[in-house]
Structure 1
C-alpha cells in the first residue's frame, strides 16, 4: 500500500509539473512585461535617453489592446491626448450651447465655426493617441499611425486658422476667403506630403519640415493684412492676438523640449515613465489648444457685441 501511495503521489506531482509547464508554455510573452532600450528592435528606437518601459513589438492586436491597461513609457502620451479628445467630442456633440454665450445676432454659422475648431482639435488629439497606442504592433502599423499623427496636426492648424479668420474678417470677404484658401492650400500640401511615402524619406525630411514651418508662419500674413486695413489695435482685438501668441509660444516651447529631449537627456532613465519631453509636449499642445479656444470665444464675443450695438 505504501508503494501504491508513493506511486500516486509521484503521479500527482508529475501531473502538476506538466500542468505548470503547459501553463508557462501558453503564457503571453508581452503581457505586462516591459523591455529596455537594448531589447527592442531597431525600428522602435527613437529616444536613446528613454532606457526602460518599452512595450516590445507585439505583432498582435490582442497584446496591443492589453498594453492600454498597464503602465509603460507610452501610457502618458496616449491618455494625455485621448482623454481631452473624448471630452472635446462630447462637448461638441452635446454641450456646445453651454460653451457659447448667445447674442441676438448669433447664428448657425457661429456654431459651425466653433465646432470646426472642436472637430479639428479632437481629430488631432485622437490621431496622436492612436499613433502612440498602436506603434508597438509592428513597423508597418507604426508607420501608418505616424502618418495619422501628422495628418491630425495639419487638420488642427487648418481648422484653428480658418475659425479665427472668420471672426477677424467677418465683415471683409476680400480678406477672409483668400486667406482661408491659402490656409487650405498649405494644409492640402502638408497633408499630402505626410501621407506619401516618397516625401517621408530621409532626403525629403528637411523639405517636409520646411513646409510645416511655412504653414504655421502663414498665420502672420492675415495679421499683417488686418493691421493695414483695421489698424494694429483693432486687429489685436478682432483675432484676440494675446491668446494666439500664447498658443504659439506653448506650441513652440513644447516642440523645443521635444526636439532637444529635455529633461531626459540630462538624466537618462529617470523620466522613462513620467515626465519625458514627448509627454510635456503633449500637455503643452492641450494647453495651447485651450488658449486658442479662449481666443476664439473672445473673438466671437467681440464680434457679436459690436453687431448687437
Structure 2
C-alpha cells in the first residue's frame, strides 16, 4: 500500500478513497472517529441533564406542589435511568435525597454492627438486641423509602403516587418501631402494660398503613379522616407516659423512657412538620430557597435529628433498665 491515499468520512464513518492507505493510517483515523463519538455522547448526556432542570412554569400540573420554589425541578423523565442519573447533579430534590439516604445507610450499618455499639450487661439477652435493632430497621426503612421517593418522583405521575404511598408507609413503620422499642424498656418489669400498649400501637400502625396505601382512602373526601387517624396515632403515645407516671411516679418514668430525649424527638418531628405545612421559609421569599434551605429539606433534617434523639434515649433506657436489674 502507498501512503499517498486520502481518507474520507461518510455518515460518521471513515472510509477509504480509491487510493490505498497504510493499515496504520486507517487504524488511527478510525480510533479518532470513535473518540469523537464517545465525546459527543458524553456531551449529549450532560446536555440532556441540563435540559431536565426546569422552571415551575414549565412543569406538568401533576408535578406542581410548592409554588414558592421556582427553579431546579427535574421535569418528568419517564425513565428510571434518568432518575438515577439525577443523583449526580444538583437540583431541588438533591438535599431531600441525600439527607435521608446517608443517615438511612448509617442506621443499617449500626444494625449490622449492633454488638459493638450496645453496652453488654450480664442480663442482656437476644430480646435487647432485637428491640434496638427493631428501631434501627424502622429508621432505615423510613429514610431509604423517603430517599427513593424523592429520587424517582420525577419519573411519572404513577411512580410519584406509588412512591408517595411507600414514603408514608415508611413514616408509619418508623413510628411503630420507635414506640414499641421504648415501651419495652419503659415497662420492662410489667409485661402486661408493654403488651397492651404495643398492641394498640400495632393496630394504629396497620390502620394508618392501610389508609396510606389504599387508593380509596387517599381521595379528597377521606383526607380529614386520614389526618385525624394520624393525629390520634401520635397522641396515643401520651397514654403509656401517663400510665407510667401513675404506676411508677414521675421521676422513675422520666428515667425509664428517658423522657427528655423523647420530648426532644417530639419537638423536632412536630416543629419540622409545622414548617413543612407552612412552607416556611420559602413562603416569605419565593425563589430564594429553591436549591438550599426550603421547608421540606428542613423537615428532613429535623426527622434525622428526631430519630437520633430517639436512638440516644433508647440506648439510655436500655442501660437504665439493666442497671436496675443487676442491683
Q: Structure 1 length as normaliser, TM-score?
A: 0.91
User: What is the number of equivalent residue pairs in this alignment?
Assistant: 294
Q: Distance in 2 between matches of 1:129 and 1:32?
A: 22
Contact 1:30–1:55 (CA under 8 A) maintained in structure 2 = no
C-alpha deviation, 1:233, in angstroms: 1.3
User: Equivalent of 2:136, from 109, 114, 118?
Assistant: 118
1:36 paired residue number:
55
Gaps in structure 2 of 5+ consecutive residues: 1-5, 14-35
Matched, 1:268 2:295: no
1:130 paired residue number:
148
Q: Distance in 1 between matches of 2:90 and 2:50?
A: 8
C-alpha deviation, 1:27, in angstroms: 4.3
What secondary structure does 2:50 align onto? coil
Q: Distance in 2 between matches of 1:166 and 1:14?
A: 72
Matched, 1:254 2:244: no
Q: Distance in 2 between matches of 1:167 and 1:286?
A: 22
Q: Which deviations, in whole Å up to 9, do the C-alpha atoms of 1:255-308 show, x marking residues without a partner?
A: 011000111111111110011000000000000001001110111010000111
C-alpha deviation, 1:97, in angstroms: 1.6
Matched, 1:221 2:247: no
Specify the structure having the higher radius of gyration (Cα): 2
Contact 1:96–1:115 (CA under 8 A) maintained in structure 2 = yes
Contact 1:30–1:58 (CA under 8 A) maintained in structure 2 = no
1:4 paired residue number:
none
Q: Distance in 1 between matches of 2:229 and 2:170?
A: 15
Q: CA RMSD in A?
A: 2.1
Matched, 1:53 2:72: yes
2:190 paired residue number:
172
Going from structure 1 to structure 2, the CA distance change for 1:300 and 1:30 (only over 3 Å counts) comes to: same
Q: Distance in 2 between matches of 1:181 and 1:306?
A: 26
Q: Which runs of 4+ in 1 moved over 6 A?
A: 11-16
Greater RCO (Cα-Cα under 8 Å, separation 6 or more):
1
User: Equivalent of 1:82, from 95, 98, 101?
Assistant: 101
Going from structure 1 to structure 2, the CA distance change for 1:227 and 1:14 (only over 3 Å counts) comes to: closer
1:72 paired residue number:
91
1:154 paired residue number:
172
Q: How does 1:99-118 map to 2 (within 5 A)?
A: 99-118=117-136
Q: Structure 2 length as normaliser, TM-score?
A: 0.86
